[in-house]
Amino acid sequence: MIVSPRLSKILQLCLEQDTDEFMSMDELSSLLKISKRTLFREIQDIAYVLEPFQLQMISKTGLGLQIVGEKENKEQLYQQLQSQKHSYLIKEDRRKLLILEILRANEVQKLYYYADVFQVSQATIRNDLDCIESWFENFNLQIHRTPGLGIELVGDELNYRKALTAILNESLASKHDTQVDMYNSQSLLNEVFTQDEGIFGLLNQEILTKVLAIFETHGEQLGLIQYAQSSYIGLMIHLVVAIDRIQKHEEIKENTYVVEMMVHDPSYQQAKKFKQIIDETFAIQMPEAEVAFIAMHMKAAKLTKRQVSEPNELLSYYSEEELLTLIDQMIMHLPKPYDVLLKDDDELLTGLIAHLRPTLIRLKHQMSIYNPLLDDVKKQYATIYEYARKAGRVLEKKYEYTLPEDEIAYIAMHIGAAIERSKRAKPMFKEIHVGIVCASGIGVSALLQAKLAKIVDSHVHLETLSMDQVHAQDYTCELLLTTMALPDTTKAILINPLLPPEDEIKVKDAISKTRMTTRYKSQTRKEGSPIDKLANTVLDVLESFSIEVVDYRSSKQDVMHVCATLVSDDVSKQQEVIKQLQKREEMNTTVFSDLGLALFHGQGSYVDRGLVKLIRPNHEAFIHEELSNIYFVLVMYLPENSSKEQMKMLSMLSRKLMEDDLFYQACMGESYANVYQKLEMILKEYVFEVISESRK
């Protein structure tokens, strides 16, 4: 509970009286050194303080004031008033409350009035006014200080509303991580509208309780359950303040522009339903201007769902085709590799469509939206916020609007979530054509095709091929399965026509490997910046990655020869690779028995593009003394004149083997698909880090 020091003193003096005694108005005025007029103004909203304690204040002419109720309740209130610590004694909090007090004032107030309310000197209030003037100027409002008269806020009603919403939203920001059932009035009272702290303690509690009941009872009928929490609570606060002003007979200035803009909008009809319920509940007549402002708030509200709960009238403003084109252009303006990785994220597309349609409507009508996570996004995800700002320029240019920071932060949240999904995503199923070559005739081919169809997914297309087609290379299949040996120039997987379990595994691994190694072949390669070169190298590595299995008795020299054949098909270049490996081994071994791995890597003209390969023994570990207890060899090579970022990529992969147990376990013995997936994720994360560093 927050009350002004003056009101706290009035209540304490009344509570100190004997049960049947009144506190006279003259005595109170004298003790507090204020006029009776000021005294009446202080107690006009006293019911909201007393009601939670089941107390009432009665006033009798000639006698004064008296608080009636149970003795225990009086004692409880008295103790709370005596122990009250005003949070606004902190400079920043006091200035926020001063802003709200100025916005709430319905008349010119003297400087000493605010000094008394906050129990500080007039000089402190003058300094506070100097500091908050610029805040009001952001909303085209001015604080007029007239000597001898006092302080008055000057500006039109629309800007006043924007300022009031902003200061309340700033207080709401401290509640954004509160776990609350926003459709339960008691939960909102306990977790958001607590009476013992901040600006929300100044809201009229009696009005608030009734508004909460309206939202709980009529929320579905009025379409409120589709709102995001910030919009839901924001509308609630707007209504409490508006009703409070109407009950106090404050003038709500007419704004013809707002009324004309909203009167034919579907949200105005929704607001009129709201007006009817409010008028009946509070026995008031809400003016047309206030209905228009409620309609604006409802129209600008952020929704939590798309299509299912999105008002039909929104769908007519911007077609899905138009929005998809806009989103596609926004994603294209993201830095590499996001421009490729995020373009097929259906969840991102769906989320942005749901957000951008009402966003464009808000921008069109110069409405604002509040994002309680704005500061967190800008501080903790500064890079992603910057990406969203650049993507947002597409929208700004197309529609000639200026995106506010709150809107940019919402877009950043969608992009950030998509980036996280892309890091965790498994390789997508890719359409693949598999050819079946069988020497035993059509019958056996058909039987084998039927068996294969049972173990592969629907994206694998099987077709039988003749030997003539194979020799003439008259096929478009990415993978061949054969029951007989084919010419050395033809890469194929040899299987038994009966397809035993071990061959089923072989086929599945081959399909998975083919999908992965062809996944990036169609990607457009950009040249120029170091980021482009790094991204291209990552694509090369993922496209060419393979696992080579060798005899577990192989020596170090044997494995070096295998490594050389993986790096190049040219014999002279293979010799160069071996020579370089031997030279490096003489200087400092790259075989780490204590870690169970070896690292064969290099850089030179003998390799045309970046590559990463894995060499494993056909048993658990190598047994040759030079490779004793080695479970795998990681092969990494880069072309000559590779960039610093490309070179760091190899160092990063080496480091990951030491730090990332999952990557190490995958390399040691897991399937090709698992190793590939882990490698892909690590390389993506590295590219993200490099991009982030380059933006700092």
Residue 225 in tokens: 């359950």
| β-strand pairing of 591-592 with 597-604 | antiparallel
Continuous H helices in 248-319: 256-262, 266-282, 288-300, 312-315
**Amino acid at position 48, single letter:** Y
- Best CA proximity match to 358, nearest among 406, 393, 394: 406
Query: Taking a C-beta distance cutoff of 8 angstroms, is the pair 43, 9 a contact?
Result: no
Residue 510 in tokens: 């081959």
Q: Which are the contacts of 491, defined by CB distance < 8 A and separation ≥ 6?
A: 480
Q: What are the pLDDT digits (tens) for 653-666?
A: 988 887 777 888 88
- CB-based burial label for 546 (10 Å; 0-12, 13-18, 19+): middle
Is 260 strand, coil or helix? helix
Is 611 strand, coil or helix? strand
The pLDDT, as a whole number, for residue 226 is 64
The pLDDT, as a whole number, for residue 189 is 60
User: What DSSP character marks residue 49?
Assistant: H
Measured between alpha carbons, how far is 31 from 25 in angstroms, rounded to an integer? 10
Residue 374 in tokens: 């704005």
Residue 155: which region, alpha, beta or left (left: phi > 0; alpha: psi -120 to 50)?
left
Q: Where are the beta strands (DSSP E) in 498-580?
A: 546-550
**Amino acid at position 98, single letter:** L
A 10 A CB-CB count for 39 gives 18
The pLDDT, as a whole number, for residue 611 is 93
Measured between alpha carbons, how far is 71 from 17 in angstroms, rounded to an integer? 12
How far, in whole angstroms, is CA 339 from its chain's centroid? 18
Measured between alpha carbons, how far is 13 from 2 in angstroms, rounded to an integer? 17
Torsions phi, psi of 462, nearest 5? Answer: -100, 140
For residue 461, give the H/E element and its range.
Answer: strand 460-465
Measured between alpha carbons, how far is 88 from 8 in angstroms, rounded to an integer? 15
**Amino acid at position 674, single letter:** N
Measured between alpha carbons, how far is 477 from 529 in angstroms, rounded to an integer? 36
The pLDDT, as a whole number, for residue 369 is 66
Low-confidence residues of the chain, pLDDT below 70?
1-5, 33, 37, 45, 83-90, 105-107, 158, 168-203, 225-231, 234, 250-258, 261, 299-318, 320, 354, 365-373, 423-430, 439-444, 487-490, 516-528, 692, 694-696
The pLDDT, as a whole number, for residue 522 is 47
The pLDDT, as a whole number, for residue 88 is 45
The pLDDT, as a whole number, for residue 562 is 94
Q: Which are the contacts of 652, defined by CB distance < 8 A and separation ≥ 6?
A: 682, 686
Q: Residue 355, CB half-sphere, CA atoms under 13 Å: how many?
A: 23
Is 303 strand, coil or helix? strand
Torsions phi, psi of 529, nearest 5? Answer: -75, 160
Q: Which domains, and CATH codes, for the chain?
A: 8-77 (1.10.10.10), 87-155 (1.10.10.10), 159-300 (no CATH), 312-424 (1.10.1790.10), 432-514 (3.40.50.2300), 530-695 (3.40.930.10)
- Best CA proximity match to 520, nearest among 427, 636, 648, 419: 427
Torsions phi, psi of 394, nearest 5? Answer: -60, -45
Is 672 strand, coil or helix? helix
The pLDDT, as a whole number, for residue 306 is 38
Residue 320 in tokens: 């899905």
Measured between alpha carbons, how far is 160 from 251 in angstroms, rounded to an integer? 13
- CB-based burial label for 640 (10 Å; 0-12, 13-18, 19+): exposed
3-state helix, strand, coil in the chain (%, to 5): 60, 10, 30
- Three-state helix/strand/coil letters over 414-451: HHHHHHHHHHHCCCCCCCEEEEEECCCCHHHHHHHHHH
Measured between alpha carbons, how far is 107 from 57 in angstroms, rounded to an integer? 25
Residue 286 in tokens: 């809400």
- Best CA proximity match to 110, nearest among 215, 35, 187: 35
- Best CA proximity match to 348, nearest among 372, 324, 370: 324
Query: Taking a C-beta distance cutoff of 8 angstroms, is the pair 273, 301 a contact?
Result: no
Measured between alpha carbons, how far is 488 from 197 in angstroms, rounded to an integer? 80
- Three-state helix/strand/coil letters over 462-496: EEEECHHHHHCCCCCCCEEEECCCCCCCCCCEECC
User: What DSSP character marks residue 23?
Assistant: B
The pLDDT, as a whole number, for residue 196 is 42
Angle, vertex CA 275, rays to CA 272 and CA 280, nearest 5: 135
- pTM comes to 0.38
Measured between alpha carbons, how far is 355 from 414 in angstroms, rounded to an integer? 9
Measured between alpha carbons, how far is 479 from 459 in angstroms, rounded to an integer? 14
The tokens 């209905």 sit on which residue? 291
C-alpha dihedral (492, 496, 502, 505), degrees to nearest 10: 40
The pLDDT, as a whole number, for residue 311 is 43
